[in-house]
Structure 1
């Protein structure tokens, strides 16, 4: 009697494929196409979102549309901004602010910049807080939602900077909390608002240091 070894199922292959995608796309965006980072990142995150929603349609159930969930995005955006500012202060005094300046240097003030930022904020959420948090961390690994932020931080190691992975982890905690408490609408709006404020409205590099 011949017993055939059981290979990975379709869902396992989909998870492995999706989990590997951002490491390639983030490397291309941050390192290969750094001069056009914003638009490369927008294209990358849109692709990640489209693949996530196509391969795991149940992620759509994580969207909760209501006025309350839109309004609740504002305190989460504010908290993310405050933590980023505190982190900025720390990097300055430790001499590790290169990564922060990099982000400001590669985000242009062009007509399509706001559109690109909107796409990034909206598209990162179904992947990182939908697929990684809900499908991979919570359902597959049976772990609590904060672990999703760990993966969000790890992928930023491809940038070659020491600060960005930690900053991404802290930001990921806030967005994961928003998504877990109120759904992807809240984390998506909070992500977009935070990007607008941190990059254009009140850049932290223009604030006084204590």
Structure 2
């Protein structure tokens, strides 16, 4: 558990650097995100060796990954419309999130999200953190809840309520999928496709 706690601390530091008002103006968000993805993936594979069974490939699970990404995009599209009617700060905060891609090549971002960042987040948060906690005395449900809360918490440094809620919803969605399906490939596909859809292809704001 010490290794797990240490890895989570590394993630917290990376997310602080990327999102906090004290550090984010001085760094390139996407380069740090790429570094974070690589570091956390490396730690995941270093601290756990039993990964083969996590990547079960079959058409049903691939289809579930693609379909769930579409469903989650729909949830966010609807949520964006509703939150905009309820909260004056909603749309400006969503716009702040999208502003992070300003000045970046769309092709670069799409490739990074699809093949590096999205997969890396699932390998770390679901494949390493949630799985390790579920195999402890906590059990699968408590592990799911704790991982979801930590995943949301690391985004708190942005002081952006909409980003925090987006992280919470995504963490709950993919964490539940992983808990029930126990196929990391499914949530990896879902996360990667959703990232590209919501940030590049079909932005909701």
User: TM-score, normalised on structure 2?
Assistant: 0.85
Q: Which residue of 2 aligns with 1:175?
A: 174
Shift of residue 60, structure 1, vs aligned partner: 4.3
The two structures, once aligned, show a CA RMSD in angstroms of: 1.9
Structure 1 residue aligned with 2:66, among 74, 79, 90?
A: 74
Give the match for residue 9 of structure 2: 20
Query: 2:45 aligned with 1:48, yes or no?
Result: no
Give the distance between the partners of 1:125 and 1:19, measured in 2 at CA: 14
Distance 1:99 1:57, change over 3 A: farther
2:109 counterpart of 1:113: yes
Q: Deviations over 1:73-115 (max 9, x none)?
A: 1121012112212221233220232332122111144142222
Q: How far did residue 117 of structure 1 move? A: 1.3
Q: State the 1:61 CA deviation.
A: 2.8
CA distance in 2, matches of 1:71, 1:169: 24
Higher Cα radius of gyration = 1
1:99 aligns with 2:93: yes
CA–CA separation in structure 2 for the residues paired with 1:62 and 1:96:
40
Contact 1:42–1:117 (CA<8 Å) still a contact in 2? no
Shift of 1:184: 0.9
Following TM superposition, by how much is the alpha carbon of 1:143 offset from its aligned partner in structure 2, in angstroms? 4.3
State how far apart, in whole Å, the 1-side matches of 2:79 and 2:89 are. Answer: 10
Corresponding position of 2:135: 139
Aligned residue pair count: 193
Instruction: Evaluate the alpha carbon distance shift between residue 101 and residue 60 of structure 1 in structure 2; reply closer, same or farther with a 3 A threshold.
Output: farther
Aligned residue for 2:80?
Answer: 88
Distance in 2 of aligned mates of 1:135 and 1:61: 14
The unaligned stretches of length 5 or more in structure 1 are: 1-11, 206-210
**Greater RCO (CA < 8 Å, at least 6 residues apart):** 2
Does structure 1 retain, via aligned residues, the 8 Å contact 2:144–2:175?
A: yes
The answer as to whether partners of 1:87 and 1:167 remain within 8 angstroms in 2 is no
